A = this chain, B = another copy of it.
Amino acid sequence: MKGVLLSLATGAQLVDIAHDIAAQDIDAARLAVARYWRRFPAGTVHLVVVDPGVGTSRLALAVASGGQYLVGPDNGVLSPALFARDAEVIALDTPAQASSTFHGRDVFAPAAARLANGVTLTELGVPVDSAERRRTPEAIRDADGTIRGEIITIDRFGNATSNIVARGGGTVAVAGLELRVVRTYSDGEAGEAVALAGSIGFLEIAVRNGNAAEMLRLERGQDVVHTRHDAQRNSA
């Protein structure tokens, strides 16, 4: 892919973003895109190739939003940009000679290189309305203010991020344990599992100097419940 990019877009700067997405993990790739894509400057082309459906009839997409471009398969990985109000989406033409197992090299990289060269979106294919949009499941707020959510991703440190917007105080129940909500990793005792506001604003389960996912056997989709002890008062 990098050879194709540099051959077609002379002088383009290549930046590796995520080396630790598990094979075929569309949701992890989607969440990674959500975290970072808006941090990049206008003109950036994001090439997202987590593509278990390669070679099938799934579309190949290019999206433009806010002066940036994203290129990847129509399987939900590009959803964070598809939800943007100004998103334009086209289906890329697939060259007849493309392999049926590596569109990263044969379809997506050539399109990304052309966008980097200033080719417009509409020159690369036809608009589509039906692109697959995946959302992170929303946490549910009970009448008493308790929030019921789930683990949505686990990072390489073993920290598990939930879909519960972090607010201070209270306790978090997960994996049969009740955890304190703290402010920094260092607020936990060594080896203590705690909950805190992660870097994207959601409650995160972590262990100081440890791997929370391994120690608590956490998995994506597992229930997380945040009880704020002042919940009654604030439940407006």
Binding site for B on A (CB under 8 A): 2-4, 6-7, 10, 13-17, 19, 23-24, 36-41, 44, 52-56, 99-102, 105, 156-158, 183-186, 196-199, 201, 204, 208-209, 211
Task: Given A185-B54, A185-B55, A209-B24, check contact A196 B6 (CB 8 Å).
Answer: no
Give bound CA distance, A163 to B196, whole Å: 39
Give bound CA distance, A201 to B204, whole Å: 43
Nearest chain-B residue to A196 (Cβ)?
B101
> Would A4 and B39 count as touching, CB distance under 8 A?
yes
Nearest chain-B residue to A20 (Cβ)?
B19
The distance from the CB of A83 to the nearest CB of chain B, in whole angstroms, is 18
Nearest chain-B residue to A104 (Cβ)?
B199
Task: Give the residues in chain B near A209, CB-CB below 8 Å.
Answer: 24, 52
> Would A99 and B3 count as touching, CB distance under 8 A?
no
